[in-house]
Amino acid sequence: MVLINKSESIIGTNKDFRIDTVTENKDLFSSANLRPDNKFENKIEQAGTFEYHCKLHPTMTGKVIVN
């Protein structure tokens, strides 16, 4: 889980050995395929809870809570 404030950016780095994505479950945001050590940044403008997954490995999930 990641906790941020509205209008802040979430920045993630793929620390896996394989290609992954960061895709919000309702497609509000989605990264391209991220190779190991590639970064993804997204600014979230609305408050709420956003669950995400990897399109290539659907059991990899997470959550961002925006205040």
Using one digit for the tens of pLDDT, what is the confidence trace for 20-62? Answer: 999 999 989 999 999 999 999 999 999 999 999 999 999 999 9
Cα separation, 54 vs 67, in Å, equals 24
- pLDDT, residue 52, reads 97
3-state class (DSSP) for residue 28: coil
- pLDDT, residue 14, reads 97
Q: Output the CA torsion sign for 59, 24, 4, 67.
A: negative
Domain 2-66 has CATH 3.90.79.10: no
Whether the model pTM is above 0.85: yes
Average pLDDT over residues 58-67: 96
